[in-house]
Structure 1
Amino acid sequence: MLSLLKTPSSGRKRGKPLLGVGAALWSAALFALWQSTASAAGDGVELPPPSTNLPASSTADTQTAVLAGGCFWGMEAVFQHLDGVSDVVSGYSGGDSSTASYRATSSGRTGHAEAVQITYDPQTISYAKLLQVYFSVAHDSTQLNRQGPDVGPQYRSAIFYANDRQQAMAEAYIAQLGEAGVFEKPIVTQVDPLSAFYPAEAYHQNFAYRNPNHRYIVVHDWPKVDNLQRLFADIYRDTPVIVATK
């Protein structure tokens, strides 16, 4: 299954070991599939901003948002390039601590989704703007339990809200986009309460920037960052926020 193509040891995509001509054919077929599904995450769309916004924060305290939309490598890379964002951590949400690992989550049976926890300054960037970026360029919200070649509920589109205001904003924006008919297919993004967020293994953090020529990153994730710069030039930052890892 293509959802199991990232190895816990190195983060590289894996398949059944093959040799000789068979390996070459498998590689060519897999790359063709990557190319055929790249447009789902790579086109980007200019969506209207949420018509309902959260009040601006009156304090200097940072806030967090937890979003899921396919492989966390690309989600992380996108939000690392936003002004006002101070940290983006790849991890797992939706399950419990006993299964909060890449190996367990990859089974698709833990309840977890690959997600990112975004720490941001609400005086610089709003939760509404994060959602606009999320739906515009970070992933395809019309794909059910998958993103491109990654298949399974661990790759689902989901917003994990931390409070009533985040829930109201997420639900209102999904309804707004649905009524506007901005996508050809229905939005399938889940809006669920945040019970916990568990950081992923260190080798997953900053993956795109440590592996800029990785074929998966080149095909699926750099186009998202390019679209972010094109569609959100006013909040795009050239230098990404890098997660501190041990």
Structure 2
Amino acid sequence: MATAVFAAGCFWGVEAWFERINGVEQTRVGYSGGNVESPSYELVKTGKTGHAESVKVDFDPEKISYEALIDAFFECHNPTTRNRQGEDIGSQYRSIIFYTNERQLQAAQQKLIEWNQKGVFKTEIVTEIEAAGPFYDAEEYHQKYLQKNGTASCGIV
């Protein structure tokens, strides 16, 4: 098993996106990249904690590569808008790849270049690449939110 952490706007839709991928064994939504220990949703949504709504993806690298997960990440949101996804505005909705080791860092950097060169997006990708710090699980009512509530989407492109 390996772990990847991504932030791409509203974590409900991002979690649902990754859950459909063969090789993804488990997902958790939460908060990462900030400076407040064990933040609550109420605090994170103010945009004052530095945290982004994030998804922790546990995957089987024999079934799916980290690089393929990065491709899925770029496919599930608009990585060209800073601190915004659809109607969700604020630093808590920024686009970030949180790497857990040197190999993930190199893969993320290469994929960022590759996706910019593809010309899929009209403007340059602004996705940040950051070392993974603590990941704080979001409250239980946020976990598998779209599955629990039957909502079809959450700003996924």
Q: Report the TM-score, using the length of structure 2 for normalisation.
A: 0.95
Contact conserved, 2:7 with 2:96, CA < 8 A, in 1? yes
Contact conserved, 1:72 with 1:116, CA < 8 A, in 2? yes
1:133 counterpart letter in structure 2: A
Q: Secondary structure at the match of 1:158?
A: strand
Inter-CA distance 219–89: structure 2 relative to 1 (3 Å threshold) = closer
Using the TM superposition, give the Cα deviation of residue 109 of structure 1 relative to its aligned residue in structure 2, in angstroms.
Answer: 1.2
Contact conserved, 2:8 with 2:96, CA < 8 A, in 1? yes
Name 1:188's counterpart in structure 2.
126
Contact conserved, 2:38 with 2:136, CA < 8 A, in 1? no
Alignment length (residue pairs): 157
Which runs of 5 or more structure 2 residues have no equivalent in the other structure? none
**Does 1:72 pair with 2:11?**
yes
1:27-106 aligned within 5 A: 62-98=1-37, 100-106=39-45
1:159 counterpart letter in structure 2: I
Name the structure where helix makes up a greater proportion of residues: 1
Contact conserved, 2:36 with 2:49, CA < 8 A, in 1? no
Name the structure where strand makes up a greater proportion of residues: 2
Q: Secondary structure at the match of 1:83?
A: coil
C-alpha distance in structure 2 between counterparts of 1:84 and 1:188, whole Å: 27
Percent of paired sites with the same residue = 43
Q: Alignment partner for residue 47 of structure 2, among 95, 105, 108?
A: 108
**Does 1:130 pair with 2:65?**
no
C-alpha distance in structure 2 between counterparts of 1:134 and 1:67, whole Å: 7
Q: Which has the higher contact order (CA 8 A, sep 6+)?
A: 2
Q: Alignment partner for residue 155 of structure 2, among 217, 220, 224?
A: 220
C-alpha distance in structure 2 between counterparts of 1:155 and 1:112, whole Å: 9
**Does 1:171 pair with 2:109?**
yes
